[in-house]
């Protein structure tokens, strides 16, 4: 019973990191949009860093068949492509909100929330699974995930604002996505080792592929609209910062 309480409390604390957007409530809309544009560059580095530094190495480290891992990562990219394509289809859920000339990108918000929800589910599984082993390991995993989530949620908030959502909508959607971690924790506590195998062989590589897709197909093209030398310098710096933060987090793992 102690592992259940510790797991759910830890997951709840980690989920609250998604409220980082509250820090922008004191800013006017114009400043928030400018900050979001900067966070998109940071998000590119954070997503790619998370995929290539954390998720993909973990996938191959746990894999018995590397071909399956590679196909799962590619399958994740294809899955997110299909999801976004269906959302933007003329009969899709978000087609009536999408206009090529408009600044709003509802499909970008949707695929980002999907990827983040899967990622948060995995975090919940990892935290609860660690507490099932020992309280010390559970606490260490919680700290690692907590520091990991701060840059991730900053980038996610910037993406949601950039896609056209209001600050309030972005905060609530981020919180809803973060709350999926509770489902991951419950799955780990109820299913034990079964959920762990599903996470390592399916969810982690699919999430990695999804993060690469979001960064490369959706975010990087957005950054290309700024063709100034200053924009290039700022974007490269923030992308590098996002990757660097994800690299430094390996110390906690």
Q: What is the pLDDT of residues 63-93, one digit of tens each?
A: 677 888 999 999 999 988 988 888 776 544 4
CA–CA distance, 228 with 206 (Å, rounded to integer)? 35
CA distance linking residue 119 with residue 107, whole number of Å: 18
Residue 101: its pLDDT value, please? Answer: 47
Compute the mean pLDDT over every residue in the chain, rounded to the nearest whole number: 82
Separation of first and last alpha carbons in the chain: 26
Q: Are 9 and 186 in contact (CB under 8 A)?
A: no
- State pLDDT tens for residues 130-179: 787 678 767 767 877 776 777 778 888 888 888 888 888 888 998 999 99
Q: Mean pLDDT, to the nearest integer, of 44-69?
A: 85
For the chain, the structural domain boundaries read: 2-252
Return the pLDDT at 74: 96
Report the pLDDT value the prediction gives residue 122, as an integer from 0 to 100: 85
Quick: pLDDT tens for 198-216.
777 887 888 889 889 988 9
Burial class (CB in 10 A: 0-12, 13-18, 19+), 66: exposed
How many CB atoms neighbour CB 31 within 10 A? 11
Confidence at residue 99, expressed as pLDDT on a 0 to 100 scale: 47
For 4-14, give one letter per residue: b (16+ CB within 10 A) or e: eebbbebbeeb
Q: Is the pLDDT of residue 96 over 50?
A: no
Quick check: 49 pLDDT over 80? Answer: yes
Task: Name the band, by pLDDT with cuts 50, 70 and 90, for residue 26.
Answer: low
Q: Taking Cα atoms as reference points, which of 46, 37, 12 lies closest to residue 124?
A: 12
Q: How does residue 227 score in pLDDT terms, banded at 50, 70 and 90?
A: confident
Of residues 10, 18, 35, the one with CA closest to residue 173: 18
Please determine, for residue 8, whether its predicted confidence score (pLDDT) is greater than 60. Answer: yes
The C-alpha torsion from 188 through 193 and 197 to 198, rounded to 10°, is -40
Helix (H, G, I), strand (E, B) or coil at 127: helix
- pLDDT the model gives residue 72: 92
How many residues in total does the chain contain?
253
Q: Which residue has the higher pLDDT, 183 or 197?
A: 183
Question: In the prediction, which pLDDT does 97 show?
Answer: 46
Q: How far apart are CA 121 and CA 109, in angstroms?
A: 18
Q: What integer pLDDT is reported at residue 31 of this predicted model?
A: 79
Please state, for a pLDDT cut of 90, what percent of the chain lies above it: 15
Q: Sorting pLDDT into bands at 50, 70 and 90, what band is 104?
A: low
The runs of H, that is alpha helices, within 22-65 are: 29-49, 56-62
């Amino acid at each position: 019973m102690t592992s259940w309480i510790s797991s759910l409390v830890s997951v709840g604390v980690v989920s609250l990191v998604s409220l980082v957007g509250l820090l922008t409530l004191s800013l006017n809309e114009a400043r928030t949009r400018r900050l979001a544009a900067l966070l998109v560059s940071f998000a590119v580095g954070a997503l790619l860093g998370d995929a290539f530094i954390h998720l993909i190495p973990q996938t191959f480290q746990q894999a018995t068949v590397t071909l399956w891992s590679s196909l799962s990562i590619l399958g994740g990219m294809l899955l997110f492509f299909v999801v976004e394509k269906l959302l933007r289809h003329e009969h899709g859920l978000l087609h009536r909100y999408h206009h090529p000339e408009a600044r709003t990108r509802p499909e970008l918000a949707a695929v980002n929330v999907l990827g983040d929800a899967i990622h948060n589910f995995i975090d919940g599984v990892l935290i609860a699974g660690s507490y099932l082993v020992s309280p010390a390991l559970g606490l260490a995993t919680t700290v690692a995930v907590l520091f990991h989530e701060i840059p991730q949620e900053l980038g996610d908030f910037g993406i949601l604002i950039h896609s056209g959502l209001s600050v309030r909508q972005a905060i609530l959607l981020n919180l809803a996505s973060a709350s999926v971690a509770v489902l991951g924790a419950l799955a780990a506590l109820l299913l034990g080792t079964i959920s762990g195998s599903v996470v390592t062989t399916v969810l982690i590589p699919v999430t990695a592929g999804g993060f690469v897709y979001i960064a490369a197909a959706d975010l990087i093209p957005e950054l290309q609209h700024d063709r100034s030398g200053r924009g290039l310098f700022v974007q490269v710096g923030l992308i590098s910062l996002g990757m660097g933060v994800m690299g430094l987090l390996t110390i906690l793992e």
